[in-house]
Amino acid sequence: MGSAPRKLLLLSVALIAIFAPSAANASAPPSGNATASRLVTGLEGGSGSTIGPDGALYVTESAAGRIARVDPRTGATTTYASGLPRLIAAVGFGGPVDIAFIGRTPYVLVTLVGPDVGGSDVVGIYRVDGPDSFTVVADIGQFSLNHPPATSFFVPTGVQYALEPYRGGLLVTDGHHNRVLRVSLDGEISELIGFGNIVPTGLAVRGKTIYMAEAGPVPHLPETGKVVAFRPGSTTVREVASGSPLLVDVEFGRGHRLYALSQGDFQPGNPEGSPALPNTGALVKVNRDGTFTVVIGGLNQPTSLELIGKTAYVVTLGGEIWKIKGV
């Protein structure tokens, strides 16, 4: 993600956490052909999300170390689980960053909480056993220490970003170590595929094929914002689409239509690890010719995307969820 790896924290989609945006960074109404309304405000550090088996949205609140359950129709929000390791304020990103269900059991991805960044918790996947109880099922931090990546790095335990169920186990992207890990539910971890400096972020699965968003290296130019696809055993990827800056998620909608989430424009000269400029993000759809079409623009530093029918739900860094109809 840059030519000077020791000057940056290599996951530059949201590493400087702005949990209470100033007036200058306030959310503006999105623009586009689809219609958007604010469903939720006040989450403490919006990050990853998923649709649970009950049809509700589940969102990680990194600053609070908890999981919120959100009714997608009304926006009613309750705490589903709390007591996870919180992000370390001096680091600015981390704690619980994504969530996925296998059956009715939720698993949470926790990153940047280990001793290498001043913390004292396990970097890895936590199974939610109750409202305030968890079991570490995979110590990704220790795996990363024992099996460093081929690319340059300076955070030994990595900076994991996304969690996705896959064939009875879980997939994890590491945007700092530039690789995808495969994790079994009994804690076995292996590197599924490694990359150069492309910054893997969000994941989606269709059949045996894995789709992945790439934020691209700093300064996150549109041409390096890509969606790619691969299968286990592959050493290379197939480019599906490119041309949207700082992609942070990818999801399938109705009719197997593929969508991606752009956090927006990166300001040249900003410190590596800064989020995109306010109100420059976009929900885009993937076209057959490998391009993107903007569904709605003007999103304020989005981090995660879910789709239910014709409606998209976008989580933002500032702790909002936007409901976008007509996708």
**Cα–Cα distance measured from residue 127 to residue 135, given in angstroms and rounded to the nearest whole number:** 5
Q: What does pLDDT average to over the chain?
A: 91
pLDDT in the model for residue 4 = 28
Residue 269's pLDDT band (cuts 50, 70, 90): confident
Is 2.120.10.30 the CATH number for 7-19+33-325?
Answer: yes
Mean pLDDT of 245-253: 97
pLDDT at residue 12 greater than cutoff 50: no
pLDDT at residue 34 greater than cutoff 50: yes
pLDDT in the model for residue 171 = 98
195-205 pLDDT, tens digit per residue, is 999 999 999 99
DSSP 12-66: TTS-S--SS--GGGPPPPPEESSEEEEEE---SSEEEEEE-TTS-EEEEETTTTE
pLDDT above 70 covers a percentage of the chain that reads: 90
| CA-based nearest residue to 84, from 131, 144, 19 | 131
SS3 323: strand
Show me where the domains of the chain are located: 7-19+33-325
pLDDT in the model for residue 217 = 93
pLDDT in the model for residue 6 = 30
Which range is least confidently modeled, 101-105, 130-134, 177-181, 253-257? Answer: 253-257
